[in-house]
Amino acid sequence: MSYITKSPWVIHYDGSSCNGCDIEVLACLMPMYDVERFGIINTGNPKHADVFLVTGSVNEQNKNVVKQIYEQMPEPKVVVAIGICACNGGIFKECYNILGGVDTVIPVDAYVPGCAARPEAIIDAVVTGLGILEQKRQALANGELLKEPEPEAAVAAPEEAAEEGKEEA
**Could you write out the DSSP letters of every residue in 34-70?**
-GGGGT-EE---GGG-SEEEEES-EETTTHHHHHHHH
Binding mask 83-102 for other proteins (x = CB under 8 A): --------------------
Residue 34 touching other proteins (CB under 8 A): yes
Residue 102 CB neighbours (<10 A): 30
Cβ-based nearer residue to other proteins, 36 or 160: 36
Residue 115 CB neighbours (<10 A): 12
Binding mask 51-70 for other proteins (x = CB under 8 A): --------------------
Residue 12 touching other proteins (CB under 8 A): no
Q: How far is the CB of 53 from other proteins (least distance, A)?
A: 15
Distance CA(48)–CA(42), nearest Å, equals 10
Cβ-based nearer residue to other proteins, 1 or 169: 1
Distance between start and end Cα atoms, the chain: 57
Residue 143 touching other proteins (CB under 8 A): no
Distance CA(28)–CA(34), nearest Å, equals 6
Q: Which residues bind other proteins (CB under 8 A)?
A: 2-4, 6-7, 31, 34, 36-39, 42-45, 47-48, 50, 72, 74-76, 137, 140
